[in-house]
Each structure stands twice: as C-alpha cells, then as structure tokens.
A = this chain, B = another copy of it.
Amino acid sequence: MERTDGYGDPTKVMVAVNESSLKGYPHPSISSRSAFEWTLSKLVRSNFSGFKLLFLHVQVPDEDGFDDMDSIYASPADFKSMKERNKIRGLHLLEFFVNHCHELGINCEAWIRKGDPKEVICSEVKRVQPDMLVVGSRGLGPFQRVFVGTVSEFCVKHANCPVVTIRRNANECPQDPVDD
C-alpha cells in the first residue's frame, strides 16, 4: 500500500523531461530541471508522502543515434545495439530525477516512450491520468515559436488534465534560446 499524508491518494504529478540539446545525455535540459525544481520547492515542499512524481521521457526517433556513426549503412545488429545504447542513455537521464526523489523519500515512477513528444505526452496523460502535468518551457518569443513550435503550448491545449508550464529563468538561458 502506498503511503499518503492522510488526505487520500497522493497527488500524481507527471513531469515531462528531456535531455540537454547542448550537453546531450545524461544531462537534463535546463527547462526540465527548472520544472523539476519548481515542483519540489513550490508544490511538494515538505509533504513528501502527499505527492507521487511520474517522469516521462520521450525519445524522438529522428534524432536516434546516427550522430556517432561513420556511415548510415549498418547491419541489423548495429541497429539493435544502437537502440540499446539509446535506451540506456534515456535511462541515465531518468536516473537524475529518480535519484533525487529517492534521496528525499518521494514516491516516483519513470519511463521512456518513443515518438513525437507533444503527441506522446498527451496520450500518456490519457493513459496514466495524473492529477496534473508539469512541462518546462524555453520561453521562446513569438518569432522563434513559429519555427520551433512548443511542446508546452500543445499540451496546455490538448492534455486531459491541468497543466503547469514552467518557464526557464532568464539567467539560465543559453546563447541561442532555442537550445536546451
């Protein structure tokens, strides 16, 4: 049986996380980390047993693995080991969040899915039915938004639960705001 704070089932907070576009795996992106830290400091606070965090990491198939290969010709075995490698990298990313929760004694789950992040996040919300979804946002201006699109905007419109969008702090912004 799960622990609670005596106020019914823990509040299930799904947090969508991704890797840093600058440093790659296993580093979380600045916006994922902001979202996680906000959740801990502003929602969970001292009430460790009142919340359960659900970390979802979506891997984008297009970005899978070719970066560290010399040729795009590869045997089926190569593909298999590549897939394994990516899975392991994704797990290392999730480890960052899961370890923090374990240190604090906060109940959590974490998993990886492949696909278009915005679509997958919304379909996982439908499946898992969290009480709320927390997504980080790069806080792009309208011009950058047109070309990059934002996962957070899509989720606010389409996710089947309350959504909190956490913007990156201005002082944590990399040179190109599209990064990370």
Binding site for B on A (CB under 8 A): 5-8, 11, 38, 41-43, 45-47, 50, 131-132, 156, 162-167
Contact = CB atoms under 8 A, between A and B. Distances in A.
Contacts of A5: 45-47
Contact of A7 (B45, B50, B156): B45
Which one of A6, A165, A167 has the greatest number of beta carbons of chain B within 10 Å?
Answer: A165
Contacts of A162: 38, 164-167
B46 A46 contact: no
A132 B164 CA distance: 9
Copies of the polypeptide in the assembly: 2
A5 B43 CA distance: 12
Contacts of A47: 5, 45-47, 50
Contacts of A164: 132, 162-164
Given A11-B43, A163-B165, 12 more contacts: A5-B45, A8-B41, A11-B42, A38-B162, A45-B50, A46-B47, A47-B47, A162-B164, A162-B166, A162-B167, A163-B164, A164-B164
Contact of A165 (B6, B8, B131, B156): B156
A150 B43 CA distance: 26
A45 B11 contact: yes
A42 to B, nearest CB: 5
Contact of A43 (B43, B46, B165): B43
A41 B5 CA distance: 12
Contacts of A131: 42
Contacts of A6: 46
